[in-house]
A and B are shown apart, each in its own frame.
Chain A
Amino acid sequence: DQQVKQNSPSLSVQEGRISILNCDYTNSMFDYFLWYKKYPAEGPTFLISISSIKDKNEDGRFTVFLNKSAKHLSLHIVPSQPGDSAVYFCAASALTSGTYKYIFGTGTRLKVLA
């Protein structure tokens, strides 16, 4: 049972345009959401996060939107740059059995074309 889903395995975008990566979740108890970026042969690195009490968080070129009623979040990258080409994972956390567990999606591979 995949609680966090990234339905698009890959996405190609032209340099300078907007990249939109999507993530859906099923567990209404998730209260914190994170996006990670992963380059080949490296560990995931934290990109941006959002608490369930907010619907938007912005950090430079990266903005995360949260729609709790739809159980959907998205990551917008504007403008996209070739260095943004990587796999992006969304993650969600919830209090489970007395501790916070982080559940990850399957990832979306973004390719930014120069």
Chain B
Amino acid sequence: NAGVTQTPKFQVLKTGQSMTLQCAQDMNHEYMSWYRQDPGMGLRLIHYSVGAGITDQGEVPNGYNVSRSTTEDFPLRLLSAAPSQTSVYFCASSFFGGSGNTIYFGEGSWLTVV
């Protein structure tokens, strides 16, 4: 029962580099999302997906790209890393459709951009 798995756990990037944060879930959830957590800002939604081939923007999408080719995977790409993207990133998933769905989080990916 792995739930939501994120890799890598820690990463240091140089400004301008690109990278992909991986997220996989084994609960057959249609809904997957990415959040970032910053001090005093709570959890802010970056992008989300309601099924394979369907993605949409959240509150803070700039500088990030996503795709959803399978139900299980939802990678988050940083196109050209900036120091402002230093943060903790959480992937989450849930069943889709109707209210009352609990979302489940991965353990987080700590990203530092220098």
Contacts and interface: CB of A to CB of B under 8 A. Distances in A.
Interface of A: 4, 6, 9, 31-32, 34, 36, 41-46, 49, 51-52, 89, 91, 93, 95, 97, 99-107
B102 A34 contact: yes
Given A41-B108, A105-B42, A49 B102 contact: yes
A44 B36 CA distance: 12
B42 A99 contact: no
Contacts of B35: 104
Interface of B: 4, 31, 33, 35, 40-45, 48, 50, 56, 58, 90, 92, 96, 98-108
A101 B58 contact: yes
- Interface SS of chain A: helix, strand, loop or mixed? strand
A106 B105 contact: no
A43 B103 contact: no
A93 B99 contact: yes
Nearest to B105: A43
Nearest to B6: A43
Contact of A106 (B4, B42, B48): B42
Given A99-B56, A101-B58, A43 B42 contact: no
A101 B90 contact: no
A34 B90 CA distance: 17
